[in-house]
Every structure is written in C-alpha cells, then in structure tokens.
Amino acid sequence: MDKVQIKVNDNGSLRVTGDVELVDAEGNVFQTKQSFSLCRCGLSKRMPFCDGSHKGTFQSVVRAE
C-alpha cells in the first residue's frame, strides 16, 4: 500500500493524495479521485469536499513542531 499524504493548506483545505476510501458516519462511501480536497472551514456547499468558499474568509495556518 502506498503512503497517503494529507497536506494542511494555509487558510484553506486539507489536500488528500493517494489511494484512500472516504466514508460517512453510516459507512456510505464517497466517490473520490487520487487527489481531492476536504473542507476545513465549514462553508463548503459540497461537504465534506472543499469548493473554495473559504477564500478571503477563513484564516488558519498550521505548522508541525
């Protein structure tokens, strides 16, 4: 199994790259591609996916320590 990468974008989404299965709380599977973005701001109309609604309204920068 290849390593999956989740990148925390400054002031934006979580970018997921790799072979993953995304499921909701009831076990239903979301259709995804090899690379997709998850919403982190809660404003997306396409939850759990990012639709860019955060631009100009969401600020969050995360750094590893």
Using one digit for the tens of pLDDT, what is the confidence trace for 30-60? 999 999 999 999 999 999 999 999 999 999 9
**CA contacts within 13 A on the Cβ side of 26:** 2
What is d(CA 42, CA 11) in angstroms, rounded to the nearest whole number? 12
In this prediction, residue 1 carries a pLDDT of: 61
Radius of gyration for the chain, computed over Cα atoms and rounded to the nearest angstrom: 13
- Predicted confidence band of residue 63 (pLDDT cuts 50, 70, 90): very high
